[in-house]
Amino acid sequence: MIVVVNCAELEMPEGASVGDVLRAIKAPETGIAVARGDEVVPRAAWDTTTVRDGDGIEVLTAVQGG
């Protein structure tokens, strides 16, 4: 299946979780927030929240500043 991560297509196996997607793109383990569609996925749910073909995943990095 294909998911779209930060506007780039990524092929993932059926049944993949948000955590699997993050590991596939080598995302940092801290300092990020993740949304699937319009909903934020809590860190505790990354490995239990599955993604579906065509899902849009946004990975946001915290940036310090003002």
Distance (Å, whole) CA 1 – CA 34:
19
Residue 66 forms part of a structural domain: no
**How many domains is the chain partitioned into structurally?**
1
15: domain CATH number is: 3.10.20.30
Q: Whole domain around residue 16: which residue ranges?
A: 2-61
Q: What is the pLDDT of residue 66?
A: 62
Residue 13 maps to a domain: yes
Residue 56 lies in a domain: yes
Q: Tokens 């196996």 label which residue? A: 13
pTM of the entire predicted model: 0.90
Which one, of 32, 58, 57, lies nearest residue 43 by Cα?
32
Is position 12 within any domain? Answer: yes
Phi-psi region for residue 37, left (φ > 0), alpha (ψ -120 to 50) or beta? left
Q: Is residue 29 part of a domain?
A: yes
Cα-Cα-Cα-Cα torsion 21, 25, 29, 34, nearest 10 degrees, comes to -50
pLDDT in tens, 34-49: 999 999 999 999 999 9
Distance from the Cα of residue 63 to its chain's centroid? 18
